[in-house]
Amino acid sequence: MVAEIISVGTELLLGQITDTHAPTMARILAECGISCRHRSTVGDNLDRLVETLKTALQRSDVIVTIGGLGPTTDDLTRDAIALALDDTLELVPEIEAKLRHFFESRGYSYVESNSRQAMKPTCADTIPNPNGTAPGLVCRKDNKTVFALPGPKGEFDPMAYDSVKPMLETLGGGDTIHSRTLRIIGVGESHVEAILADMMNQENPTVAPYAQTGEVHLRLTAKAKTAAEAEAIIAPTEAKIKRLLGNAVYGVNLETLEDSIINLLIQKGETVSTAESMTGGGIGERLTSVPGSSKAYKGGFVTYTPEAKMSMLDLSPELISGHGPVSIQVAEAMSQAVRQKLNTTYGIAIVGNAGPTSDIDGKPVGLVIVSISGPHGTTSDTSNFRGIREDIRKRGEQTALRLLRGQVLESE
Amino acid sequence: MVAEIISVGTELLLGQITDTHAPTMARILAECGISCRHRSTVGDNLDRLVETLKTALQRSDVIVTIGGLGPTTDDLTRDAIALALDDTLELVPEIEAKLRHFFESRGYSYVESNSRQAMKPTCADTIPNPNGTAPGLVCRKDNKTVFALPGPKGEFDPMAYDSVKPMLETLGGGDTIHSRTLRIIGVGESHVEAILADMMNQENPTVAPYAQTGEVHLRLTAKAKTAAEAEAIIAPTEAKIKRLLGNAVYGVNLETLEDSIINLLIQKGETVSTAESMTGGGIGERLTSVPGSSKAYKGGFVTYTPEAKMSMLDLSPELISGHGPVSIQVAEAMSQAVRQKLNTTYGIAIVGNAGPTSDIDGKPVGLVIVSISGPHGTTSDTSNFRGIREDIRKRGEQTALRLLRGQVLESE
């Protein structure tokens, strides 16, 4: 059973909006055990929409269109499906009556173009849309099934999950395609692949690495009758990967690095505080994104300027002017000061130059120094990152969290 | 001149990530006056990628592929382009040498698979990638141009804007489709549409509203010979919108709320500091994301726990236990304390319960209190947001920044 998704709308081709519905539908297809092999996007153009549907009908069993079901003349999905299926459109009087009632009960005059929303290919059933005016469609012809869903999010999401997903489950025939993501830090993508070389071409589960900012995600995908069976198929491969990569695997699925750290700290009864210069609060923001983080994260200082480093963390003017604000000495003094002030197991500090200009006492853009102060003393780590300001800040956060996790893991 | 975009990656077909690069490339194509007629997404499968490229070569002049240029065996874009163009791959020794140097200078051993990134179709030129290991490609054959860009955001964005856009401008050679985005805060999408009702159906420029978290973006799009001409076409509509919406329009194009605030503060010679509870450093992170923000942002305290509020901001235990940590009284005491401690024009404080459980002395999930202390006293604002933890925190940040902007705008 092979499926594809067609998103309809000129605004998508102009890049004016980001398509978040297609990923939603892709996840639903996977959960129903249906392989989504293609996604296409076309504008509000009848010829190209018909051509795209025809190509899809040749290579896929299930087609899901998103958008183009509204009342205006550039809403062409209904017409295109009818043409591609060699069918005609007919009016559904009950739906037209509902539309009239909808507008009149709200005191609006009825614009005749709304009746376009009451049309359907003769082979189609309509799908109720409790959250909008245009019903969805499910068209069945020649062993192909074409679903048409409306574009507005408040209409698309409920229709996709409540009405279309049950029909797709039936079509999928019971199988599910289930993935599990292992999240890896401190080992680059090509190294992960080299270490796991003999798994890269295996089937059920497949193993695929994806580079993220400062980490690598490994996706393990299995096909089975149920999610639980798929997890059982994935388990031995997962165990082998964890054996080979050790502590570099910090989390699973949606578990973030900050989740992993907060959980570890709570388990060990340890605490942390932050002193952030370059990242401006980003490390605190990430640690506190974890529900219940107040048990482990005790607070932080955002000391973005030399003055703040002096007034808030009591650093001496001589230290800062002597070594410069982006220096190992300043980072270590900050991590020690915040640890002491907030009386935590660990103090993290980060300084650096995220750019765009090399205006911090001549230190190069991309230089980032992280220091961690803990029960066994103070360490620091120097990196030179490439990329834009946002990237350098994110990689700095990532490094600080990675090093903190390392220390928490080693502690007894 | 007709173009299409091909996004490559099984993770896209599984809905595991949302494709934000294709919209970026779509906007760039529009700005270069090149009509993007199709977007396709295919998985890491050589046959389907080649087939998709061949279809694209039949109907389009320019093809831009995104992703699949990494070092691993499921990075197949290079191979697929060579096959679709009936070309072969060759090694570029200088790029391989650079790759070796990159890894060895960082103390990593060189994994041979990295050399895949030094391969290119013989008809291709490489596009430098200062932010990553895989160069981009521009392949020219039979009057068709195929660009291949890497998937990681920190590599894609700079290559798309700095290297590919100038080449596309040359290819476009004529009209430009130019957009300008007005960024609006404090007025909801349906209100924006009601206020601007008579502009919603106009042509050249078209006006389209898009809801974002805590703000609305209005996109004005015009077609003309040059960007400057398009801007001139857009200008009267923009002026009318600004007259109708007033200060609610805070920025244009990529200007963020934090950009607008930092610029206003610098203009007025004013400064700000933050005391964050619920957002854990997120407001500081946003303010310091602006280059040069140290002129206006003087630092902050992340006081996530009652203890931190007492030890870092000298709040009295009675105040906190009497009113609870999520209270107007605590928020106002925090904003006053941080303003005084860091000697800034404004002090912002935020407290709230972002959930998921109502564990903060019984205050409901979604309750957020922002206080701003300034030259004319201390004010506070109470909101009740719905949504998940992440949403509530983002809306809290957004409210704090909106209120701060209001105060800075009013100051003399």
- The token duo for B245 is 């919406």
- Within 10 A of B4 (CB to CB), how many other CB atoms are there? 26
**CA-angle at A396, arms to A392 and A398, nearest 5°:** 115
Residue type, B402: R
| Closest-approach residue (CA) in chain B for A33 | B14
- The token duo for A48 is 């190209």
HSE-CB of A16 using CA atoms within 13 angstroms: 24
Determine the Cα–Cα distance for residues A332 and A313; give it in Å rounded to an integer: 12
Residue A54 with chain B: CB contacts under 8 Å: none
With CB atoms and an 8 Å threshold, state whether B14 touches A391.
no
- The token duo for A267 is 């388990």
Determine the Cα–Cα distance for residues A12 and A19; give it in Å rounded to an integer: 7
Residue with token string 């923009």: B238
Residue B297 with chain A: CB contacts under 8 Å: 280, 304
Q: Where are the domains of chain A?
A: 2-172, 176-252, 257-410
Alpha carbon distances (Å) from A67 to A153, A164, A259: 10, 15, 37
Give me the mean pLDDT over the A79-96 stretch: 96
Q: What is the pLDDT of residue B149?
A: 98
Contact A339, A313 (CB under 8 A): no
Which among A249, A229, A251 has a CA at the least distance from the CA of A240? A249
Strand B62-66 to strand B144-149: parallel, antiparallel, or no bridges (unpaired)?
parallel
Partner residue opposite A40 with nearest CB, options B40, B356, B389:
B40
Partner residue opposite A39 with nearest CB, options B40, B219, B312:
B40
- The token duo for A11 is 């605004």
Residue type, B34: I
- Which of the residue ranges A105-114, A387-396, B266-275 has the most confident prediction, judged by mean pLDDT? B266-275
Q: Which of A187, A288, A388 to mutate against chain B (most B CBs within 10 Å)?
A: A288
Question: What's the mean per-residue pLDDT of chain A?
Answer: 92
Alpha carbon distances (Å) from B249 to A227, A307, B181: 48, 34, 10
Q: Reduced to 3 states, what is the DSSP secondary structure of residue B145?
A: strand
Residue A332 has pLDDT above 80, yes or no: yes
Q: What pLDDT tens digit does each residue of chain B (412 aa) get?
A: 899 999 999 989 998 889 999 999 999 998 888 989 999 999 999 999 999 999 999 999 999 999 999 988 889 999 999 999 999 999 999 999 999 988 888 777 888 888 999 999 999 999 999 888 899 999 999 999 999 999 988 899 999 999 999 999 889 876 788 889 999 998 877 778 788 888 988 889 988 877 677 788 888 989 888 889 999 999 999 999 999 999 999 999 889 999 999 999 999 999 999 999 999 999 999 999 999 999 999 999 999 999 999 999 999 999 999 999 999 999 999 999 999 999 999 999 999 999 887 666 778 999 999 999 999 999 999 998 877 788 899 999 999 999 999 999 988 7
Q: What is the third-level CATH fold of B257-410?
A: Maf protein (3.90.950)
Q: Which of B285, B298, B344, B348 to mutate against chain A (most A CBs within 10 Å)?
A: B285
Torsion angles phi and psi, residue B209, rounded to 5? -90, 145
Q: What is the pLDDT of residue B355?
A: 86
Contact A134, A150 (CB under 8 A): yes
With CB atoms and an 8 Å threshold, state whether A288 touches B300.
no
- Which band of pLDDT confidence, cut at 50, 70 and 90, is reported for residue A42? very high
- The token duo for B271 is 């400064």
Burial class of residue B28 in the structure, from the number of CB atoms within 10 Å of its CB (0-12 exposed, 13-18 middle, 19+ buried): buried
Structure-model confidence comparison of residues A211 and A247, the more confident one: A247
Percent of chain A predicted with pLDDT > 90: 73
Percent of chain A predicted with pLDDT > 70: 98
Q: Which of B29, B159, B302, B394 to mutate against chain A (most A CBs within 10 Å)?
A: B302
Determine the Cα–Cα distance for residues B154 and A366; give it in Å rounded to an integer: 13
Partner residue opposite A15 with nearest CB, options B24, B304, B389:
B24
Q: Reduced to 3 states, what is the DSSP secondary structure of residue B8?
A: strand
CA distance B5 to chain A (A): 9
Structure-model confidence comparison of residues A174 and B237, the more confident one: B237
Q: Reduced to 3 states, what is the DSSP secondary structure of residue B22?
A: helix
- Which band of pLDDT confidence, cut at 50, 70 and 90, is reported for residue A359? low
Partner residue opposite B38 with nearest CB, options A28, A41, A305:
A41
Residue B44 with chain A: CB contacts under 8 Å: 208
| Closest-approach residue (CA) in chain A for B114 | A190
CA distance B252 to chain A (A): 15
Architecture of the CATH domain A2-172: 3-Layer(aba) Sandwich (3.40)
Q: What is the pLDDT of residue B360?
A: 60
Residue with token string 């499926």: A3
With CB atoms and an 8 Å threshold, state whether B40 touches A37.
no
Residue A81 has pLDDT above 90, yes or no: yes
Q: Reduced to 3 states, what is the DSSP secondary structure of residue B204?
A: coil
Q: Reduced to 3 states, what is the DSSP secondary structure of residue B123?
A: coil
| Closest-approach residue (CA) in chain B for A344 | B308
Contact A355, A390 (CB under 8 A): no
Which 8-state DSSP code applies to residue B33? Answer: T
Determine the Cα–Cα distance for residues A371 and A339; give it in Å rounded to an integer: 11
With CB atoms and an 8 Å threshold, state whether B39 touches A12.
yes
> Has this prediction a pTM greater than 0.80?
no
- The token duo for A243 is 């054996």
Q: How many cross-chain Cβ pairs, A to B, lie less than 8 Å apart?
A: 286
Q: For residues A197, A202, A206 and A209, what is the CA-based torsion angle, rounded to 10 degrees?
A: 10
- Which band of pLDDT confidence, cut at 50, 70 and 90, is reported for residue A360? low
Residue B52 with chain A: CB contacts under 8 Å: 38
Domain at B176-252, CATH from 3.30.70.360, 3.40.50.360, 3.30.70.2860, 3.40.50.10890: 3.30.70.2860
Cβ neighbours for A233, distance < 8 A, ≥ 6 positions apart = A204, A205, A222, A224
